[in-house]
Amino acid sequence: MLSIYYFAGIREAAGRNSEVLELPESVTDVQGLINLLAHRYPKELSLLTESDRVLVAVDQTVVKRDHQLRGDEEIAFFPPMTGG
């Protein structure tokens, strides 16, 4: 089972802090998970598809969209950060 965590604006849009999801066999990487979540929640999680703006961490390490998933990881989605 994947433990999925949403932070800041993504958490607000999703209406939840986290969820647990069994990874379908058809989903093998982070981009596939993003596509699945955006399809399930098109209005709430449309920000996830903006790959240049959203950071994804797998087991507390920021990864690229082609990172392979096993199905038992902790996934975290972070919105764009700004600072000065």
- Give pLDDT tens digits for 26-56: 999 999 999 999 999 998 888 888 767 899 9
**Residue 48 domain-assigned?**
yes
- Pick the residue with more confidence: 81 or 39? 39
Q: What pLDDT, on the 0 to 100 scale, is given for residue 33?
A: 97
pLDDT band at 73 (very low <50, low <70, confident <90, very high): very high
**Residue 53 domain-assigned?**
yes
**Residue 84 domain-assigned?**
no
**Residue 83 domain-assigned?**
no
CATH of the domain at 27: 3.10.20.30
The enclosing H or E element of 8 equals helix 8-14
- For residue 84, pLDDT beyond 60: no
Q: Which residue in 43, 32, 15 sits closest to 69, CA to CA? A: 32
Task: Give the pTM.
Answer: 0.90
Count of domains for the chain: 1
Structural domain harbouring 46: 2-78
**Residue 18 domain-assigned?**
yes
